[in-house]
Amino acid sequence: MILRSHRVSDLDALYRIDQECFPPGISYSREELAGFIRHRSSKTWVAEEEGEIAGFLVAGREAARVGHVITIDIIPKWRRRGIGSALMEVAEAWSRRSGAKLLYLETGETNRVAQRFYQARGYEQVDRIENYYGQGAPAWVMMKLLK
């Protein structure tokens, strides 16, 4: 696996992956995704396997000591091979270097697979948000204190 910073030329592929990974109302529009990626306080990493983009993660810095995983997307055929863990590791390390003391994310209330993945990495459910996703679905805010 190769982990690298995104390239401007990756946007179309990252958008297609986001559309594949999440249903309408959860997936981002091309413009939203581009905005998150281009934001001056964000960083995007791409994971490549066998010459193709297998997944990516967008994270941002918010308040002085807070990081936010905006999205992590892994193509289904590449899941359960350590790509998500590698992307989370790099995002957590970047957040620490940036001075963040905590990193948080949102995940669908019914997405138990994702919740277990994050819990295994030390994230805890700290808040439930009603109507978070476009079709009224709630989300959990999960947070990890960075050491």
Domain count, the chain: 1
pLDDT one-digit tens code per residue, 111-125: 999 999 999 999 999
pLDDT at position 91: 98
First-last CA distance in the chain: 26
Structure-model confidence comparison of residues 63 and 2, the more confident one: 2
Instruction: Answer yes or no: is pLDDT of 4 > 80.
Output: yes
What is the pLDDT, as a whole number, of residue 37? 97
What's the pLDDT tens digit per position in 81-97? 999 999 999 999 999 99
Q: Give residue-wise pLDDT tens across range 43-60.
A: 999 999 999 999 999 999
Is 80 exceeded by the pLDDT of residue 144? Answer: yes
Any idea what the CATH number is for the domain that residue 85 is in? 3.40.630.30
Span 127-138, pLDDT tens digits: 999 989 877 889
pLDDT higher than threshold 90 for residue 63? no
Domain range for 40 is: 2-145
Mean pLDDT for all residues in the chain: 95
